[in-house]
Structure 1
Amino acid sequence: MKAKSNLIGVVLCLLLLTACSKKILTDNPEPEAMLYEINHKEDVSLVFFDHNQEDGLEKHLKIYKRFAEAFDTIQDVHVFHVNEDCVIEFRNYGYYYFYNHDSKLKSGMILSNGVDKPILVTNPDKYIETYESYFKVPFNDKVYYGKLRVAEIAERQKESEKELKSKFKVDQNYADNLIQNSSISYYPKPNAFLGCSTGKVTAKAFRESTKTAKSFLQIETLYDKNGLIKQYSTIINGALYSEDLYYRNSYHLIDSIVRRNEKGEKSKDVFKYSKKQFSIISVDQKNVMIAKVFHLNDKFQCAKSETVNGSGDVVAITFFEYDEFGRIVKEVNATQKLVYEYKNDQEVFYSKMKIYSIKDNALLSENIRYSEGKKDIFIAKEGNKILAKTVSLNNSNGCIKTVYNYNSGNKLSEAYEYSYEN
């Protein structure tokens, strides 16, 4: 569960020394090709590709625009239009490639659930049908519903505005339980090394291990004295790409997050709390709509989350199960099941995560985490094949110093260098 602002996976089209073969949706890299990265692990990515041909794209582009508009405000769904001659790389739990040079494939749609191998459809008449069958949710945009849809959306906006004005009195006990037990990205488990999340933390991304070239991506996070995020900024090629400002109440619960994009446009996510759940309401110049709902059990753990699009449709539902120590052991959505294993009773971070298909319960891939001295290693595997590897080097305080990401060919894809200012 994560916000779209966590934009480590920025999409860029770059000339790299990793690409792919000319097979459709392969995981075999080849040297030197134009690379278009889709780095949204666990999120939905919908890629519409073509070659800027003069005719034959009317229906293809029309449906692309429908998807782009329907998911414009959804943080967990990303819609792309790629018309460059390049290789599209999907960085899921494994790296997958699509070669967008094939003269036989004039256009099409690639669907990725952010975990396993994406699927491809080339008939525009099948785009919506394939989306609905793959993700097991209806594509209910305004074109589909017509006039009835407009009335329905208006009613949902009224409900969201009513929720926005609702009052619920929180106290210190409610806040402490939610912050400590909910296990969601807005309220993560307390860091064992509080010094790693105070002051300013900067992560710079590089394309090579020497880190001599200028950083193409920089993430800056400001924390308060309690180790809670105050500001999260993404800088691309020296320019501010996005900025999130966190506002909290006296109990340290988030009241709102004010977001600003690269165009300077602002929007706001307002957090509304109640006894058994809390909601995030998206507010911008065009719309007021509930965007996310977290349902809580008696222990204030998130038992169920719902993702809602800008029209008020529930587009994703995820269920969570916990062990006796309050750690997530199972996460289930429409297409996959994630099972977490822990090294011992004290570890708060999993040592192994296995991903299964809901359809046939087949093991799709697994993530393994282990430590060697001041080094943490993460490996994504499919059977005996390594799909990706991350090596995190820690400093003497136990904080992350440098992170190296490797692809399935064991070639460095990027390096992140961390610095800390108190």
Structure 2
Amino acid sequence: MLTACSKKTLLTYNPEPDAELYAINNKEQVSLVFFTVENADELADHVAVYKRFAEAFKDTEEVLVLNINKNNVIEFKNYGYYYFHNKGPKPKCGMILSNGVDNPIIETNPQKYIKTYEVYFKVPFNDKVYYGQKRKTEIAERQKKSEQTLKSKFKVDQNYATQFIKHSNSSFYPKSSQNLNCLNGKVTIKTFLDSAKTKKGAVQIETLYDRNGLMKCYSTFINGELFSEDIYYRNAYNLLDSIVKIDNKGSRSKSVFKYEKHRYSIITVDERTKMHSNIFYLNNQFQCFKKETLNDNGDVLTVALLTYDNWGRIIEETTESQKIKYEYNQQEDFYSSMKLYSTKSGALLTENTRKEEKCMVVYISKNNEKLLSKTISLNNSNGCTQTVYNYNGDNKISEVYEYFYEN
């Protein structure tokens, strides 16, 4: 009589001719049979692994997964007949593996089911649970790397800060020059839904600047109530140290800026995690030539490669899906034309133009000569934005923004 010891092969004759026969006719196909003796208990590990295999192969006909908990003689019709009877002094549970050709084998330790499967069939068992565990490990390693970056120390001096601010041309450090008269004290932006500014919009923005024209606080109000607030902290060289974000429920998160010789990173720190959100890579001229955007799990969502002209202006920005080309008037810092192309097909998707005339700047976005949007920005006598009119694709006003300055 077969005792079903671990990895033993099955009998080539029926040990119980009068017993109920469970025939498996799966020649040249994989069969996985999970058996238990009747009324067996304490089989949580066995059942858990069975469910993993059943879930992994539920949508394929190439692998047969069975769960047998009755006293049956199990017959495998491969190239030859092989039998097993799950009763008597045998283990409470086990897994029979058959390749549909040879004599099947048995594994009776649930902790070894997956390993036995991988060795016997010479393939890895990478199911959802495996990838879930691998995913957790991967995220934990990324968090550990982010924590190490937070703890790292790099000496920033005045020369580094000056070159960085002047040339990095990246988020939070744009190259385009701005009028310091417009970045002094408090700037309030109110929204309206009509050109006469009689219908108020729900959103209001308030920005506070220091005496150097650097942002100190950015607040968003919805229907008169504070919705979110970003507070900016800088080091002695005016480089951003962190941005603390507070929402309307009082929840806080922090974006921490870490500087290195050839790159700088932004790491998001909240109650749940510490994770890189952006990484900017710098060349020897302190220009950002590559930038990565990551999600909360540390997955890289986009990678953008940047090319510059002789005046240090971005002329091309390429990602996996799109390419943006910028054109400029003479030595102006702000583009006059921005064209968005499909990286795959090379087709022009949208074209944005910017035209400045005295106290007015006009932005137009088109797709194959079809108007997508238009923005007209009017400046006051100091050269600061006073009123912005946004138009939709039908050339109708969608929003109006009014700017108020308090020095």
- Compute the TM-score of the two structures, normalised by the length of structure 1: 0.65
Tell me the residue number matched to 1:384: 369
Q: Is the 8 A contact 1:204 1:218 kept in 2?
A: yes
Q: Is the 8 A contact 1:180 1:190 kept in 2?
A: no
Tell me the residue number matched to 1:251: 237
Residue 292 and residue 144 in structure 1: after superposition, are their counterparts in 2 closer, same or farther (change >3 A)? Answer: farther
TM-fit CA distance, 1:143: 7.9
Whole-angstrom distance in 1 between the partners of 2:301 and 2:369: 34
Whole-angstrom distance in 2 between the partners of 1:143 and 1:291: 27
Selected match of 2:166 from 173, 180, 192? 180
1:224-248 residue CA offsets vs partner (Å, 9 max, x unmatched):
1111111111111111111000000
Whole-angstrom distance in 2 between the partners of 1:320 and 1:410: 33
Tell me the residue number matched to 1:195: 181
Tell me the residue number matched to 2:194: 208
Is 1:164 matched up with 2:150?
yes
Tell me the residue number matched to 1:358: 343
Q: Which amino acid aligns with 1:225?
A: R
Q: Is the 8 A contact 2:177 2:333 kept in 1?
A: no
Residue 190 and residue 227 in structure 1: after superposition, are their counterparts in 2 closer, same or farther (change >3 A)? Answer: farther
Q: Is the 8 A contact 2:176 2:333 kept in 1?
A: no
Tell me the residue number matched to 1:281: 267
Tell me the residue number matched to 1:45: none
TM-fit CA distance, 1:157: 1.0
Q: Larger deviation: 211-220 or 374-383?
A: 211-220
Q: Is the 8 A contact 2:366 2:372 kept in 1?
A: yes
TM-fit CA distance, 1:297: 0.9
Is 1:261 matched up with 2:218?
no
TM-fit CA distance, 1:215: 3.6
Selected match of 2:289 from 303, 306, 312? 303
Is 1:399 matched up with 2:388?
no
Q: Which amino acid aligns with 2:200?
A: K
1:39-85 residue CA offsets vs partner (Å, 9 max, x unmatched):
xxxxxxxxxxxxxxxxxxxxxxxxxxxxxxxxxxxxxxxxxxxxxxx
Whole-angstrom distance in 2 between the partners of 1:191 and 1:248: 20
**Secondary structure of the structure 1 residue equivalent to 2:233:** strand
**Secondary structure of the structure 2 residue equivalent to 1:376:** strand
Q: Which amino acid aligns with 1:330?
A: E
Q: Larger deviation: 144-153 or 267-276?
A: 144-153
Q: Is the 8 A contact 1:393 1:400 kept in 2?
A: yes
Q: Which amino acid aligns with 1:231?
A: C
Tell me the residue number matched to 1:337: 323
Whole-angstrom distance in 2 between the partners of 1:290 and 1:192: 29
TM-fit CA distance, 1:351: 0.5
1:336-366 residue CA offsets vs partner (Å, 9 max, x unmatched):
1000000112x11000011110011111110
Is 1:231 matched up with 2:237?
no
Q: Is the 8 A contact 1:197 1:228 kept in 2?
A: yes
> Whose relative contact order is higher, 1 or 2, with alpha carbons under 8 Å and at least 6 apart?
1
Over the matched positions of the two proteins, sequence identity in percent amounts to 57
Q: Which has the higher Rg, Structure 1 or Structure 2?
A: 2
Aligned residues: 280
Whole-angstrom distance in 1 between the partners of 2:130 and 2:250: 32
1:149-188 residue CA offsets vs partner (Å, 9 max, x unmatched):
1111111111111111000000011111111111123112
1:99-134 residue CA offsets vs partner (Å, 9 max, x unmatched):
xxxxxxxxxxxxxxxxxxxxxxxxxxxxxxxxxxxx
TM-fit CA distance, 1:375: 0.7
Over 3 Å off, 4+ runs: none
**Secondary structure of the structure 2 residue equivalent to 1:153:** helix
Q: Which amino acid aligns with 1:370?
A: K
Residue 238 and residue 374 in structure 1: after superposition, are their counterparts in 2 closer, same or farther (change >3 A)? Answer: same
1:367-403 residue CA offsets vs partner (Å, 9 max, x unmatched):
0110222110000011222111000000011110000
Q: Is the 8 A contact 1:223 1:231 kept in 2?
A: yes
Whole-angstrom distance in 2 between the partners of 1:150 and 1:420: 49
TM-fit CA distance, 1:334: 1.2
Q: Which amino acid aligns with 2:256?
A: V
Residue 297 and residue 227 in structure 1: after superposition, are their counterparts in 2 closer, same or farther (change >3 A)? Answer: same
TM-fit CA distance, 1:213: 2.7
**Secondary structure of the structure 2 residue equivalent to 1:310:** coil
1:280-327 residue CA offsets vs partner (Å, 9 max, x unmatched):
111000001111100001111111101111212111111111111011
Q: Is the 8 A contact 1:321 1:328 kept in 2?
A: yes
State the superposition RMSD in angstroms.
Answer: 1.4
Q: Larger deviation: 270-279 or 154-163?
A: 154-163
Selected match of 2:399 from 411, 414, 420? 414
Whole-angstrom distance in 2 between the partners of 1:286 and 1:164: 16
Residue 411 and residue 143 in structure 1: after superposition, are their counterparts in 2 closer, same or farther (change >3 A)? Answer: farther
TM-fit CA distance, 1:252: 0.2
Tell me the residue number matched to 1:319: 305
Whole-angstrom distance in 1 between the partners of 2:355 and 2:315: 18
Tell me the residue number matched to 1:26: none
